[in-house]
Amino acid sequence: MTDDTTDDTVPDTTERTDDETDAETNGETGTQSTPIETDGGTVEQDALEFDSETVDSTGRLIVLDVVGLQPQHIDAERTPTLHSFFPDERVTDLRPPFPALTVPAQTTLATGTGPSEHGDVSSGEFDRERRAAEFWERDRADRDRIWETASEAGLTTGVLFFQHLIGTTADVAVTPSPIEDEDNNLIEMNCWTNPDGFYDDLQEAYAHFPLHNYWGPGANEEGSKWILSAAREAVERFDPDLLWVYVPHLDYVGQSDGPSSDAFDAELETVDEMLGGFLDFLSGTDRWDETAINLISEYGFHDVEQPVFPNRALHEAGLLETDAEGDADIPNSAAFAMVDHQLAHVYVDADAGSGAGSDANAGTDTDAETDATASADALETARELLADLDGVATVIDDAEKAEWGIDHPNAGDFILVAEPDAWFQYYWWTDHDNAPPYATDMDIHDKPGFDPCELFFGEDGMVSLDPTKVSGSHGRVDESAYGCYALGGPAAHNVDLSSVDAIDATAVTPTIEGVLELEYGTLDQRAE
C-alpha cells in the first residue's frame, strides 16, 4: 500500500503491461491468463486509492465474501437488490491468485500477499516428512490477516466462517468446530468463537449451525442464512469497525450444476434476497452513514464435463502403492498427486519404501549422486506420464513456479493445471469395490484430495462415486472465471470503478487499510 493519495474521484490502479497479460488459448471455453511475475514470485498490485470526497469518513467497513459471484451476475433481472446497491460503475472484476482455490484465495485476499509468500498453495497441505496429505486443517492462525492487524491497531474486528480461524485474535469470530470421534464421525455440533460463549448465544437464538446444509448432499441456503444471522448478532452486540463475512451458498450449485445452468441463476436470486435482508438490517443501524460495503468473490466457476485421474495413472504405472484397506500408501509410493479442483500438486520420492540411507555406506558422495539421479528419473517418469493425460493443459515445473506465483516449498515437485472443461479427482482405483472406506463417506479430513462428489448422494453410501455428476470447478485463472469486486454504501457513494479493468486479489487488503485509514499493518510495515 502506498502513502500517496490522488485528487481524482476515480481510483488509481496499476495497469498490466502486454507482457503481463499474454494468454495461452485453451479452446473455446476460456483463456489461461499468465500470472504477473514480481520479486519473490508473488502477484501483487497497488491498493486502490480514494480521496476524501470519494470515501467519506468511513468508520465501518463490511466485507461480504460471496464465493462464485461475478460482475455479470449483478444485474436488474437476477439480482435487483445488489444491482441497486452496486450499479455498474461500482463493480469490476477481481483477478484471483493462482491457484484460484479456497484457502489460497482467502489467504491472499486477507493478507495482500500471494501463495509464493504465504505458502497456502492448495486447500490441502502435504507433509513431506510424513508423506501425508491433509485437507482443511482448522488450527492455523499464523497468516497476519487484516482483521488481526486492524485489531492490533485499535479497531474492533470480526470475521465469520473464513478458513483457519481457530486461534485468531479478531474480537469477534465464528467458525465450525464440530466435536468428532477418532473416525471423524460427528458427535455434537459446535463452533469455535471469540469471545468464548458466543456460540451458546447464537445456538439459543438460531439453533445449532446446520453443518449438513453447509457442505454435502444436503447443502443449501440454510447455512448461509445462519451465517448472516450470526453477522447481525455480531453487529448488534459488538459493533465491529471491520467485519468480514463469508457467504458460501453459490459454491454448491457452482460445482453441482455449473455456472451456466438454470439452477445457478435461480440461486443468484436466493443470494440477492439473503444479502438484501442483511443490507436492509445494516441500513437501520446507528453507524450506517459511516459504513462502506465491500462485495468480493474469491473466484468464479468453469463449466466442466471431464474428470481426470492422475493418481489412477500413477497407480497403474506402479508409482503409487495401496494398502490392504485400499487406501493410498503414500509413504511407500514414488509419486502422489494431491488434487484440488483444477489443480494437482505432484510430490515425488524416488526412495519411498526402498530403505534408502540404511546402508552403512549411505551418505557418501556416490550415494548422493545415485539418489539425485534416481529422484530425477522418478520425477521425469511421473511428469511424462501425467502430462499426456487427456484434460491436462499445463505442467508447471520448478523453473516456471515463480512466473505462476506459486514458488514455495509447499508446492508440488511439479503442478498440473486442467483444461477449462476438466478437473482432477483423487481416485486411484478403477473398480469401486476397491475404494477405501471413506470414499463413500462425508470425510473432508481423511480424504487426501478434494472431493466434490460429496455434494451428491450415493447408491451404496452417503456420497456418490460418480464424478461425471460434477458440472463446475475452479482453480485456473481465466478472465471468464474472475471473481467480483464492488464497493458501495453511504461512505463510498462516489466510488467509480468503471475505468478499472480488474483488481488483483493482492490489492483487496491494502485497499481496506486505506479506506479505514489504518497506519498499522500496511504491506510496507509488514516487510520491515
CATH number reported for the structural domain that contains residue 276 in this entry: 3.40.720.10
In terms of domains, do 65 and 203 share one? Answer: yes
447 belongs to a structural domain:
yes
- For residues 443 and 484, membership in a common domain is answered with no
Residue 10: per-residue pLDDT? 30
What is the tens place of the pLDDT at every residue in 15-51? Answer: 333 443 333 333 333 344 434 443 333 445 666 665 5
Q: Is residue 27 part of a domain?
A: no
User: HSE (CB half, 13 Å, CA atoms) of 402?
Assistant: 6
Q: Burial of 185 by CB count in 10 Å (0-12 exposed, 13-18 middle, 19+ buried)?
A: exposed
Q: How far apart are CA 166 and CA 528, in angstroms?
A: 27
State the pLDDT at residue 508.
96
How far apart, in whole angstroms, are the C-alpha atoms of residue 384 and residue 367? 26
Question: Same domain, yes or no, for 339 and 198?
Answer: no
Domain with 330 in it: 306-470
Residue 338 within any structural domain of the chain: yes
Same domain (yes/no): 41, 158: yes
- 475: cell is 482453480
Contacts with 184 (C-beta within 8 Å, 6 or more apart), sequence order: 443, 445, 446
Instruction: Give dist(CA 392, CA 16) in Å, integer.
Output: 27
Tell whether 168 and 212 lie within a shared domain: yes
Q: Are 115 and 224 within one domain?
A: yes
Task: Give the span between the Cα atoms of 109 and 95, in whole angstroms.
Answer: 10
Q: Is there a single domain that holds both residue 439 and residue 481?
A: no
Residues 427 and 503 in one domain: no
- Tell me how far apart the alpha carbons of residues 32 and 302 are, in angstroms, rounded to a whole number: 12
Give which of 310, 311, 308 is closest to 321, Cα–Cα.
311
pLDDT computed for residue 37 by the predictor: 41
**Does residue 93 sit in the same domain as residue 119?**
yes
Task: Look at residues 470, 501, 518 and tell me which one is the last residue of a structural domain.
Answer: 470
Q: Do the beta carbons of residue 249 and residue 270 sit within 8 Å?
A: yes
- The reply to whether 421 falls in a domain is yes
Assess whether 120 and 151 both reside in one domain: yes
Task: Give the mean pLDDT per block of 10 residues along the chain (528 residues).
Answer: 33 38 36 40 56 62 98 97 96 98 96 95 94 77 83 95 92 87 72 95 96 93 98 98 98 98 98 98 96 98 99 97 94 97 96 49 54 75 97 98 97 98 98 93 89 94 95 98 96 87 95 79 36
Distance CA 415, CA 399 (A): 12
Q: What is each CA distance from 98 to 34, 119, 251, 474, in whole angstroms?
A: 10, 12, 18, 11
Question: From residue 311, how far is each of 42, 306, 381, 448 by CA, in Å?
Answer: 29, 15, 14, 11
Instruction: Quote the CA–CA distance of 72 and 74 in Å, as a whole number.
Output: 5
Single-letter code of the amino acid located at 419: E
Of 454, 470, 486, the last residue of a domain is 470
Q: What's the number of domains the chain is made of? A: 2
Nearest CA to 57 out of 497, 490, 459, 512 is that of 490
457 and 513 assigned to the same domain:
no
Q: Which of 470, 490, 512 is the last residue of a domain?
A: 470
- What is the pairing mode between strands 91-95 and 483-488? antiparallel
32 forms bridges with which residues in the sheet? Answer: 24, 478
- Whether 242 and 360 share a structural domain: no
Spatial CB neighbours of 249, under 8 Å, sequence gap ≥ 6:
66, 220, 221, 223, 224, 267, 270, 271, 274
The answer to whether residue 98 is domain-embedded is yes
CA 268 to chain centre: 20
What is the tens place of the pLDDT at every residue in 380-424?
999 999 999 999 999 999 999 999 999 999 999 999 999 999 999
Residue 9 lies in a domain: no
Position 17 in a domain: no
- Is 26 contained in some domain? no
Helix (H) or strand (E) holding 473: strand 472-473
The whole-number pLDDT of residue 367 equals: 57
Identify whether the C-beta of residue 359 lies closer than 8 Å to the C-beta of residue 446: no
